[in-house]
Structure 1
Amino acid sequence: MKQLLVVSCWLLVFSCSALAVVDIGDIGVGARSLGMGKATVGGLDDASAIFTNPAALSLNPQLNITSMSGTLLTDVNYMMFGAAETAPIGRVGIGYLNAAVSGITITQITGSGSNETVVPLGTTDYSSSVVYLSYSSALSRFLRGKGDNVLIGANLKYFLQGFSGGGATMQDAAGTGMDADLGLLWQVNNWANLGLTFNNFLPETFGGRFNWQKNNQTEGIAMVSRAGGRFNLIGPSGLKYLEKQKLDLLVEYASNNTPNWPAVWHLGAEYVPLPVLTLRAGIDQKVKATIGGIGVDNNLSLGVGLQYAGFTFDYAYHQFGEVTENTTHFFSFGFRGRDEVDREPLREPERNVPVPTVIPKPPVKSFGDVPESYWARRPIEYLATLGIMSGYPDETFKPDRPLTRGEFAALLVKAKGFLLSKDVKKLFKDVPTTNWLAPYVQLAVDRKYIQGYPDKTFQPNKKISRAEAAVVFTKFAGLQVKSKLSNDVFPGLAKGHWAAPAVSAGKVAGFYEFLADKNFEPGQDLTRAEAAEILSKTPFIKDKIRQLISGEK
Structure 2
Amino acid sequence: MKMKLRIVGIIIVLFILSHSVSAQTAVANDPTYIGVGARTLGMGKAYVGLADDLLGIFSNPASLGYLNNWQLTTMAGKFINEYDYLNFGAAYPTSYGTFGIGLVSSSIGFTAIGVTTEVQDGIRIVPSSTEGSSFSYGNQTLLLSWGKPLKGLFDLKVLDNIVAGGTLKFYFARLTGPGIVGGSAYGNEVDLGLHYTPNPVFKAGMVLQNVLPFSMGGKMKWDSGVEESFPALLKTGFSFKVLGRQGWRRLGDHELSLNFDYDYYPTHSSLPSLFHNGIEWSPIDFLDLRAGIDQDYVGRNNGTEIEFTNNLTLGVGLYYGNFRFDYAFHQYNQVAANDTHYFSITYGLDRGKPSVEAVEVKNFSIFPADKTVLYTQEVTVKGEVDNWLIRRVTVNSLEVVVGDDGRFNLTLPLKYGKNSLNIAGFDAKDRLLAAEKIRLLSLKSFVDVPVNYWAVFPIAYLAMENILTGYPDGSFRPEGNIARAEIATLLVKTMSSPNDLLPSQRKRIQELIFLGVVEVGKNYDPLKGLTRADYAKWLVKTDDLSFPTVDDDVFPDVSKSHPLAPYISAAVNNGLMTLFADGEFRPEQAITEAEEKALIAKATGEEIETPKNKQLFNDVPLNHWAVVYIDKGAQEGLIRGYPDKTFRPKGSITRAEGVSVIARFAKLGEPRLLELPFSDIPGRHWSIKEISAAKEAGLLSYLEGNRFEPDRRLTRVEVAEMVAKTHYFSDNIRNLRDWNIGY
TM-score of the superposition, structure 2-length normalised?
A: 0.47
Asked if residue 94 in structure 1 is aligned to residue 105 in structure 2, the reply is no
Identity of aligned residues (%): 28
Q: 1:222 to 1:449 in 2, by over 3 A?
A: farther
Displaced runs of 4 or more, over 3 A: 1-11, 13-16, 103-106, 118-122, 339-346, 404-417, 427-430, 445-460, 475-480, 537-544, 547-553
| From 203, 227, 252, the counterpart of 2:236 | 227
Q: Which amino acid in the other structure matches residue 239 of structure 1?
A: W
- The 1:411/1:339 distance shift into structure 2, 3 A limit, reads farther
Following TM superposition, by how much is the alpha carbon of 1:323 offset from its aligned partner in structure 2, in angstroms?
1.5
Residue aligned with 1:69, SS: strand
CA distance in 2 between counterparts of 1:477 and 1:55 reads: 43
Partner SS state of residue 35, structure 2: coil
Which SS does the other structure have where 2:346 is aligned? strand
1:360-439 alignment, distance < 5 Å: 413=370
Residue 319 of structure 1 pairs with residue 326 of structure 2? no
Q: Which residue of 2 aligns with 1:124?
A: 135
In 1, distance between residues paired with 2:92 and 2:433?
28
The 5-angstrom pairing of residues 428-467 of structure 1 reads: none
Q: 1:43, 1:49 within 8 Å by CA — same for their partners in 2?
A: no
Paired position in structure 2 for 1:523: none
Aligned to 2:149: 138
In the alignment, which residue of structure 1 is the partner of 2:198?
188
Q: 2:258 matched to which residue of 1? A: 249
What corresponds to 1:362 in structure 2?
Answer: none
Once residues 479 and 201 of structure 1 are traced to their aligned partners in structure 2, the CA distance between those partners, rounded to angstroms, is 62
Aligned to 1:52: 59
1:548 and 1:39 mapped to 2: Cα distance?
63
Find the aligned partners of 2:115 and 2:228 in 1 and give their Cα distance. 27
SS of equivalent residue, structure 1 residue 58: helix
**Pairs within 5 Å for 1:145-164:** 146=157, 147-164=159-176
Q: Deviations over 1:432-480 (max 9, x none)?
A: xxxxxxxxxxxxx9956796767576799xxxxxxxxxxx99x889999
Deviations 1:262-294 (A, max 9, x none): 111111110010010011111100110012611
Over the aligned positions, Cα root-mean-square deviation in angstroms equals 4.4
Cα deviation code 1:339-380 (max 9, x no counterpart): 45998999xxxxxxxxxxxxxxxxxxxxxxxxxxxxxxxxxx
For residue 154 of structure 2, give the secondary structure of its aligned residue in structure 1: coil
Distance in 2 (alpha carbons) for counterparts of 1:28 and 1:199:
15
Query: Could you give the per-residue CA deviations for residues 89-115 of structure 1, whole angstroms, max 9, x where no partner exists?
Result: 011111110000124445379xxxxxx
Worse-matched range after superposition: 253-262 or 181-190 = 253-262
Q: CA deviation at 1:33?
A: 0.7
Change (3 A) 1:105 1:59: same
Aligned with 2:28 (options 21, 37, 60): 21
Local SS of the residue matching 1:201:
coil
Q: Indicate if the aligned counterparts of 1:43 and 1:53 stay in contact, CA closer than 8 A.
A: no
Structure 2 residue aligned with 1:214: 224
Residue 268 of structure 1: aligned partner: 278
SS in 1 for 2:20: helix
Could you tell me how far apart the structure 1 residues matched to 2:316 and 2:104 are? 23
1:239 counterpart residue number: 248
- Residue type of the alignment partner of 2:280: E
Deviations, residues 289-319 of structure 1 (Å, cap 9, x unaligned): 0126111111111111101111000111110
Aligned partners of 1:108 and 1:120 also within 8 Å: no
Matched residues in 1 for 2:40 and 2:287: separation?
A: 16
Aligned equivalents of 1:85, 1:175: Cα separation in 2: 30
The match for 2:41 is 34
2:344 matched residue in structure 1: 332
Mapping 1:276-291, distance limit 5 Å: 276-291=286-301
**Mean Cα displacement is larger for which, 446-455 or 185-194?**
446-455
Contact persistence 2:84–2:106 (CA under 8 A):
yes
State the 1:150 CA deviation. 0.7
| Separation in structure 1 between the aligned mates of residue 702 and residue 372 of structure 2, nearest angstrom | 17
Q: Shift of residue 19 of structure 1?
A: 4.4
Deviation at 1:59, TM superposition (A): 2.6
Distance 2:136 2:702 in 1: 67
Residue 515 of structure 1 corresponds to none
Displacement of 1:11 in angstroms is 6.1
Q: Deviations over 1:171-213 (max 9, x none)?
A: 2122111111111111021200011110111112333222121
Moved more, 295-304 or 251-260: 251-260
1:542/1:294 CA distance change after superposition, 3 Å: farther
1:61 match = 68
Taking a change above 3 Å as real, the CA distance of residues 15 and 191 of structure 1, as seen in their structure-2 partners, is: same
Per the alignment, in what secondary structure is the counterpart of residue 298 of structure 1? strand
Q: Distance between the aligned counterparts of 1:329 and 1:407, measured in 2?
A: 42
Say which is worse superposed, 17-26 or 179-188, in terms of deviation.
Answer: 17-26
Contact 2:373–2:441 (CA<8 Å) still a contact in 1? no
Structure number with greater CO (CA < 8 Å, separation at least 6) is 1
Aligned partner letter, 2:150 = L
What SS does the corresponding residue of 1:226 show, helix, strand or coil? strand
Gaps of 5+ in 1: 110-117, 347-403, 418-426, 431-444, 461-471, 481-536
Cα distance in 2, alignment partners of residues 52 and 549 from structure 1 = 59
Task: Establish whether residue 75 from structure 1 lines up as the match of residue 82 from structure 2.
Answer: yes
After superposition, what is the alpha-carbon deviation per residue over 1:509-551, rounded to whole angstroms, capped at 9, x for unaligned?
Answer: xxxxxxxxxxxxxxxxxxxxxxxxxxxx96489969xx99987
Could you say which residue in structure 2 is the equivalent of 1:308?
A: 320
Contact kept, 8 Å, 1:41 with 1:229, in 2: the verdict is yes
1:125-181 C-alpha deviation (Å, 9 max, x unpaired):
1011111111111112422574121111110110112313x25x2121221111111
SS in 2 for 1:12: coil
Assess, with a 3 A threshold, how the Cα gap between structure 1 residues 343 and 236 changes in structure 2: closer, same or farther. Answer: closer
SS of structure 2 residue aligned to 1:170: coil
CA 269–120 in structure 1, closer or farther in 2 if over 3 Å, else same: closer
State how far apart, in whole Å, the 2-side matches of 1:344 and 1:314 are. Answer: 28
Q: Following TM superposition, by how much is the alpha carbon of 1:240 offset from its aligned partner in structure 2, in angstroms?
A: 1.0
Q: Quickly say closer, same or farther: Cα 1:337–1:121, change in 2 above 3 A.
A: closer
Partner AA of 1:204 in structure 2: F
Cα distance in 1, alignment partners of residues 98 and 435 from structure 2: 20
Contact 1:12 1:18 in 2 (8 A): no
- For the Cα contact (< 8 Å) 1:212–1:218, is it kept in 2? yes
Give the secondary-structure state (helix, strand or coil) at the position aligned to 1:266: strand
Aligned to 2:632: none
Q: Which residue identity lines up with residue 132 of structure 1 in the other structure?
A: L
Flag the 1:162–1:413 CA change in 2: closer, same or farther, 3 A. Answer: same
1:294 equivalent in alignment to 2:306: yes
Assess if the C-alpha contact under 8 Å between 2:84 and 2:107 holds in 1: yes
Equivalents in 1 of 2:16, 2:205: separation in Å? Answer: 38
- CA deviation after TM superposition for structure 1 residue 13, in Å: 3.4
Cα distance 1:78–1:549, how it changes in 2: closer, same or farther (>3 A)? farther
Higher Cα Rg: structure 1 or 2?
2
Question: What's the CA shift for 1:14?
Answer: 4.5
Q: Which residue of 2 aligns with 1:359?
A: none
Separation in structure 2 between the aligned mates of residue 548 and residue 301 of structure 1, nearest angstrom: 67
Other structure's SS at 1:152 match: strand
Q: Tell me, which stretches of 5 or more residues in structure 2 are unaligned?
A: 117-128, 375-384, 389-411, 413-417, 458-699, 705-720, 726-743
- Contact 2:89 2:103 (C-alpha < 8 Å) held by counterparts: yes
Question: Number of paired residues?
Answer: 395
CA distance in 1, matches of 2:350, 2:21: 54
Residue 105 of structure 2 aligns with an amino acid whose one-letter code is N
The Cα offsets for residues 43-95 of structure 1, whole Å up to 9 and x where unpaired, read as 23222111111111223312221111121111101101111121120111111
